[in-house]
């Protein structure tokens, strides 16, 4: 089992460019999440999907959109990247309230 | 609005010593308190977790102490080892919701 996979691992964007971060899990989990991690800020929830076909905003959703493509895949889109979106992005999945499994992260720099 | 406050931001402990990281929460509806461990370049991974019906949970060298009245919980790492050097995050969630609210993290360095 690969667990949670994320692509790409690194990305550099110019202000105003768009991109989609991809996430997939092979554990048959219902819930999936997108977080951003910034120094001194911990992990902040951007969006989550409690089950296939549903998505909800987290703590910091502005500037992002998500798509729960199917049970396995949950993508995060930046329509017009800004320097404030420079961060490390983590995708996670869980079956229940108990444990979230995280991917290896995508390091995004917006210049 | 930070609902889970974590301290210290960084911690240096000698090998064999005890590492202590503290967290405080505000939302009394929280009823699940996990700790996640993150090594450089990796995603966080669940280390240990506690529900508020017990005051302490121990797994090997790692112990969570929970004080419901004070709305505080802490992670104790006994006999700290260089391999424990990582960033530790406390978190909390409520009910059946699987959304976690994370603390800001503590970077632990265990020296020889």
Asked whether the predicted pLDDT for residue B99 surpasses 90, the reply is no
Question: Nearest CA of chain B to the CA of A49: how many Å?
Answer: 10
Report the pLDDT value the prediction gives residue A55, as an integer from 0 to 100.
95
Report the pLDDT value the prediction gives residue A96, as an integer from 0 to 100.
73
Pairing, β A106-110 against β A10-13: parallel
A1-35 pLDDT per residue, tens: 789 999 999 999 999 999 999 999 999 999 999 99
Asked whether the predicted pLDDT for residue A36 surpasses 60, the reply is yes
**DSSP calls for chain A:** ---EEEE-SEEEE-TT--EEEEEEESS--SEEEEEEEETTTEEEEEEEESSTT--EE-S--TTEEEEE-SSSBEEEEESS--GGG-EEEEEEEESSSS--EE---EEEEE-
Residues of A near B (Cβ–Cβ under 8 Å) read 4, 31, 33, 40-45, 48, 50, 58, 90, 92, 94, 96-105
Are A100 and B98 inside 8 Å of each other by CB?
yes
A90-102 pLDDT per residue, tens: 999 998 767 899 9
Report the pLDDT value the prediction gives residue B40, as an integer from 0 to 100.
93
Q: How far apart are CA B41 and CA A107, in angstroms?
A: 10
Q: Which residue has the higher pLDDT, A98 or B43?
A: B43
Task: Count Cβ atoms within 10 A of the Cβ of residue B20 and give its class: 0-12 exposed, 13-18 middle, 19 or more buried.
Answer: middle
Report the pLDDT value the prediction gives residue B1, as an integer from 0 to 100.
53
The whole-number average pLDDT for the span B19-41 is 94
Using a pLDDT cut of 70, give the percent of chain A over it: 98
Asked whether the predicted pLDDT for residue A39 surpasses 60, the reply is yes
- Of A48-52, B81-85, B98-102, the poorest mean pLDDT is in B98-102
- From A41, A102, A105, residue closest to B45, measured CB to CB: A102
Are A99 and B104 inside 8 Å of each other by CB?
no
Using a pLDDT cut of 90, give the percent of chain B over it: 83
């Amino acid at each position: 089992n690969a667990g949670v996979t994320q692509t790409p691992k690194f990305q550099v964007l110019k202000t105003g460019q768009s991109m989609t971060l991809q996430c997939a899990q092979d554990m048959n989990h219902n819930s999936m999440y997108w977080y951003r991690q910034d120094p001194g800020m911990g992990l902040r929830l951007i969006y989550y999907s409690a089950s296939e076909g549903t998505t909800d905003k987290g703590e910091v959703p502005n500037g992002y959109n998500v798509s729960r493509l199917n049970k396995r895949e949950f993508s995060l889109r930046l329509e017009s990247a800004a320097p404030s979106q420079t961060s490390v992005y983590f995708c996670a999945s869980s079956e229940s309230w108990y444990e979230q499994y995280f991917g290896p992260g995508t390091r995004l720099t917006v210049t | 609005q930070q609902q889970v406050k974590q301290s210290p931001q960084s911690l240096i402990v000698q090998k064999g010593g005890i590492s202590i990281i503290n967290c405080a929460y505000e939302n009394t509806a929280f009823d699940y308190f996990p700790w996640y461990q993150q090594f450089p370049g990796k995603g966080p991974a669940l280390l240990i977790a506690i529900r508020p019906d017990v005051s302490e949970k121990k797994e090997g060298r790692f112990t969570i102490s929970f004080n419901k009245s004070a709305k505080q919980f802490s992670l104790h790492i006994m006999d700290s080892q260089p391999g424990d050097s990582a960033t530790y995050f406390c978190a909390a969630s409520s009910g059946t919701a699987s959304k976690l609210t994370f603390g800001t993290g503590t970077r632990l360095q265990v020296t020889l």
